[in-house]
A and B are shown apart, each in its own frame.
Chain A
Amino acid sequence: MKNIKPGLGIKLTKSTNIIRLLLIFAISFATMAILQPNIFLTKKYMVSMAFLFPEYGILALAMMLAMMSGGIDLSIVATANFSGIMAIKFLIRFCPPDAAGLTAALFLIAALVVAICVGALCGLLIGAFIGKLGIPPMLATLGGADLIMGASLIMTKGSSVGGIPRFVSAVGTKILFGFLPVTVLVYIACAVAIGFLLQKTPYGLKLRMMGSNPVASRFSGLDNDKIIFKTYMLSGMLSAVAGMLLISRANSARADYGASYVMQVIIVCVLGGVNPNGGFGTVGGVSIAILILQVLSSGFNMFPNISNFYRSIIWGAVLILVVIYNHISAKYRTKKLERAAAITASKSDKE
């Protein structure tokens, strides 16, 4: 298997992982289409699938960054909700409820900025727990999630925040050209940005290397703490964007939306080729993984006898199968590499 070029995974022909995922996607899609062509292949259905995609997707990008750094981020949903709540409170305070046109646009941007800043701060806090205090990422993001969600609960006193200006949900539900939800564009923008960051910038290389071997990273002069801060800050910012999407779709803000997303997003990442031990992951892989799971789970919705909960079974099974597969193929790959190395070694001895 060739080493995958991270980021967008654009060099598709070189990456067998991406090809494998595309194949699985094609098969899933085809299966659903054949089973229920009247429902599945309608525009209405495609669009409804497309709506759920971006929230997951952006959260998955956040989780991917954390996993690539050798950690995990269990606080993404808490940050999403908290940033969204802060942004909405900002809007309720400062924005006239019937604003439209340019005022609405400006306020929307302002709200987004507020959310992203809050998300960044949450990420920095978590980064401090991990980098400066040395708390293992699982516990740091777990405790951090409680702190952040706790803050949300305090701000909302446990209930949902209503009275959101209309333009927020209007944007969140807007469909362009009759089939493309605006939110999908938001996802694409985030994906492109993260892909760029991972593939084209020094940070991307540093992240992957530190995730692979934090000791060697330190011994190579890299500032591990800085990389951790940056990573969790980005994760927080992405979570904030996802939070805004969540709120605009639900037209209200709560402290506990999307509680089940964390686990699903981990499954997406592992399926998409992100190595939970760190160092490897592509935006392309994660994107296709989301599509696969989206197709499968929406597909089940089409059958009235099969409830939503079957989704959980499928995802759990997929996760375990993927992990087993990765484990076996990694063992196989290591054996291949060891054989190759032995050959190279004996060659160089002879020279």
Chain B
Amino acid sequence: MKKLLKKNEFYVSVVLILLIGVIQVKSGQFFTANNLVDLARSCILPVMLTLGVTMEIIARSIDVSFPAIAMLTMYTVTSVATKSGYTGPAWVLFLIAAVMGMILGTINGVLAAWLKLPTLIITLGTSSIYMGFLQGVLKCRVIAVMAEPLETLSTTYLLVATNRQNGLTSPLSILFLLMLGVVIVVWILMRYTMLGRGIYAFGGDPVSAERAGFNIKFIQIFVFAFMGALAGLGGMTRTVLTGSCQPTSLDGYEMVCIAAAVLGGTRLSGGVGSIKGSLLGVVLMMTVSNSLILLGIPTYASKFMTGILIIMGIGISSYQALRSKRKVSGNILEPDKSKQENPDAKELA
């Protein structure tokens, strides 16, 4: 039980359940079909991006450039496809965006790994360069009508939910499946491949990881490259979901994703983070921002709520960590009664 209390995921789940309870009581609308679908829809993009951020933070890296990568790839691919009247399959466009994003992300990775530069500052720099390129060189603007395959995709739905009480309908884009695909891929990667375990090992103790034979430079570059690919996919997803290409719409999104990851138990110091936790973090943040109307809270108060969430969520675990640092850990006094003796440790005959 005590172990459970220490886990961030526990607190997040509790807050989530309480929050849902409050919303349902106040409005009776939480468990309606269309609200749930809206919620699911709003999670598609942040889930994809937050999982990538989680991997980076586990690998001791902070990345604030992925919204810029997303926007740059999204605009480039969409505008080229639209101008050239592209009529091929949409997934090809997604693939190109992912590859573009991967290349941009690799630049970050190389700077971080080879030159061993602080990742926050590097990605601030590349973010600036990518955005400047997008807005200055490419002179981006909103593309309201996109290439046909993308327009079609944006109205392709997995299901449409109707709220029987007020007739509101909410569609769930087929890209929800893309999100699920990303979750599964990341899950397999982190849990079942040595590369994923290497990311965890590196995050836990970089020196030991190197000694154990992991290629730590590759690991560092990989997490940035992978994030870049996810950002490419994310940018295209954003475009399809909103039905038009708005090149500056992801400004500031990095903080949402980092906050969701940290809320979900990902430690900024590295080595600790889980998919489950990050998913919970995203769901919590999206529930808050989506349900404000249902709670009667005006939209302009949503930032405030997010701020409280972040501080509370991180504050609790930070405070616990702070307090345990200030205590003496030891069993110097009682040589025959180990305080930390593991009751499960057994002697084999």
A→B interface (CB under 8 Å): 72, 129, 133-136, 138-140, 142-151, 153-154, 156-158, 259, 263, 266-267, 270, 276-277, 306-317, 319-320, 323-324, 327
Contacts and interface: CB of A to CB of B under 8 A. Distances in A.
Contacts of B318: 133-136
Contacts of B321: 134
A310 B24 CA distance: 49
Interface stretch (B160-168, B187-195, B211-219, B297-305): B297-305
B132 A139 contact: no
Interface stretch (B29-37, B77-85, B255-263, B330-338): B255-263
Interface string B136-154: 1101000000000000000
Contacts of B130: 316
B126 A316 contact: yes
B135 A307 contact: yes
The 8 closest A-B CB pairs, nearest first, are A150-B304, A312-B132, A309-B136, A316-B128, A146-B307, A134-B322, A147-B307, A313-B132
21 contacts: A72-B120, A133-B322, A134-B321, A136-B318, A139-B258, A142-B259, A143-B259, A144-B307, A146-B303, A151-B304, A153-B304, A154-B301, A157-B298, A263-B124, A267-B128, A309-B137, A312-B129, A313-B132, A316-B128, A316-B130, A324-B115
Q: Chain B interface residue count: which class?
A: 35 or more
Contacts of B127: 263, 316
A129 B306 CA distance: 16
Contact of B136 (A134, A139, A310, A319): A310
A266 B131 CA distance: 17
A267 B121 CA distance: 8
Interface string B36-57: 0000000000000000000000
A306 B116 CA distance: 33
Nearest to A319: B125
Contacts of B16: none
A72 B127 CA distance: 18
A291 to B, nearest CB: 19
User: Interface on chain A toward B: helix, strand, loop, or mixed SS?
Assistant: helix
Interface of B: 62, 111, 115-118, 120-122, 124-137, 139, 251-252, 255, 258-259, 262, 268, 298-308, 310-311, 314-315, 318-319, 321-322
A293 to B, nearest CB: 12
A124 to B, nearest CB: 14
A209 B64 CA distance: 29
Given A134-B322, A157-B300, A146 B310 contact: yes
Nearest to B136: A309
A337 B309 CA distance: 47
Given A149-B303, A263-B128, 18 more contacts: A133-B315, A135-B314, A136-B268, A138-B120, A140-B311, A142-B259, A143-B307, A146-B303, A153-B300, A153-B301, A267-B124, A267-B128, A309-B134, A310-B137, A313-B129, A313-B137, A316-B127, A327-B116
B292 to A, nearest CB: 12
Contact of A276 (B118, B139, B300, B315): B118
A139 B310 contact: yes
Contact of B307 (A150, A319, A323): A150
B252 to A, nearest CB: 7
Contact of A313 (B136, B262, B303): B136
A324 B117 contact: yes
Contacts of A306: 136
Contact of B305 (A72, A150, A267, A270): A150
A139 B111 contact: no
B102 to A, nearest CB: 20
A146 B304 contact: yes
Nearest to B298: A157
B203 to A, nearest CB: 16
A140 B129 CA distance: 27
Nearest to A309: B136
Contacts of A149: 303, 307
Given A135-B314, A143-B310, A309 B135 contact: yes
A143 B128 contact: no
B284 to A, nearest CB: 14
Given A150-B301, A154-B300, A259 B252 contact: yes
B297 to A, nearest CB: 10
Given A129-B311, A135-B311, A307 B303 contact: no
B113 to A, nearest CB: 13
A284 B321 CA distance: 38
B251 A323 contact: no
A310 B301 contact: no
Interface centre among A270, A317, A320 (most CB of B within 10 A): A320
Contacts of A145: 307
A311 B137 CA distance: 11
Contacts of A157: 298, 300
B336 to A, nearest CB: 33
A156 B303 CA distance: 13
